[in-house]
Amino acid sequence: MNLMPPPGSPPLLTLAADALLFLHIGGGVVGIGSGFGALVLRKGGRAHIIAGRAFVVAMLIMAAIGAVVSPLLPQNANDVPALFTLYLVATGWRSVQDRSGQVGAFEIGALVFALITVAVGMSLAVDAAMSPMAVLDGEPGSAYLIYAAFPALAACLDIGAILRGRLSRPHRIARHVWRMSFALFIAAGSLFLGQPKVFPQALRGSPLMLVPELTILALMLFWLARVLLAGAARKADPSRPLAA
């Protein structure tokens, strides 16, 4: 994200832009660091909880700034990822805070937010397709459709949860795992792949830049499998403890 105001801008505007950029970058750095910590630390332990709280706060700050500022720059390619990250972190946090598993107004509001995010992505895809060069902010319309596909999938899962009316503990934890992990994946991709200029020249374009993202996906799949398989085993044998 480029928050540099044009030359000759009022000092107050420059100061505000610098503050937002600092918060955006700082939130991303803290979010990625704490997110990796939450993935590898013992689940439910104090360190995991502290890392998770830091991740939620940092990511909400980073994504909120991106969602508000991107349309104004304009840097529309960041709109859907920023909105989707906000949604993922908020709903992932909610899934472990409400241990009853009951689905209510929050989940319905989250569904509406996801659908709005899909609509934004579709609108940007149309704008890109109708532009003279068939691109918008350097991205083709197909890229915006891909961006919109992920919140569309999440919205479908929300509809399923709303229709059921309640999430079992394994599905509630799985919801937490994949949403927090995918938000971390987006943040890591934005840094390691989206901002290569902050890394040494030797690393730019290197396959090593894919390692953080692939590690996140691998850990996400590991924890999803562990939680869901343990949940299925416990359903067959109620006396069996559920992995967290």
In a domain? residue 217: yes
Q: Establish if 231 belongs to a structural domain.
A: yes
Tell me if 5 is assigned to some domain: no
Q: In this predicted model, which residue has the larger pLDDT, 76 or 149?
A: 149
In a domain, residue 115? The reply is: yes
| pLDDT of amino acid 3 | 60
- Structural domain including 58 reads 11-235
**144, 84 contact by CB (below 8 A):** no
Q: Phi, psi (5° rounding) for residue 6?
A: -65, 155
The H-assigned helical ranges of the chain are 11-40, 46-69, 79-97, 105-130, 141-164, 169-192, 211-236
The answer to whether position 2 is within a domain reads no
Which two tokens mark 201?
């020249």
Contacts for 15 with CB less than 8 Å, ≥ 6 apart:
none
- Residue 82 has what pLDDT? 94
pLDDT at 13: 61
69 token code pair:
């500022």
Whether 46 maps to a domain, the answer reads: yes
Each residue's pLDDT tens digit, 158-193: 999 999 999 999 999 999 999 999 999 999 999 998
Evaluate whether residue 212 is within a structural domain: yes
Average pLDDT, stretch 44-52?
A: 92
Residue 215 lies in a domain: yes
Give the model's pLDDT for residue 237: 60
pLDDT digits (tens, 9 = 90+) for 100-152: 889 999 999 999 999 999 999 999 999 999 998 889 888 899 999 999 999 99
- Do residues 83 and 120 touch, judged by C-beta distance below 8 A? yes
pLDDT tens per residue, range 192-228:
988 888 888 888 889 999 999 999 999 999 999 999 8
Higher pLDDT, 125 or 18: 125
**How many domains, the chain?**
1
Mean pLDDT of 41-47: 88
Q: What is the pLDDT of residue 22?
A: 85
Q: Taking all residues of the chain, what is their mean pLDDT, rounded to a whole number?
A: 88
pTM: 0.88
Using CA atoms, how far apart are residues 82 and 60, in angstroms rounded to an integer?
9
d(CA 195, CA 17) in angstroms, rounded, equals: 19
Q: What is the pLDDT of residue 16?
A: 74
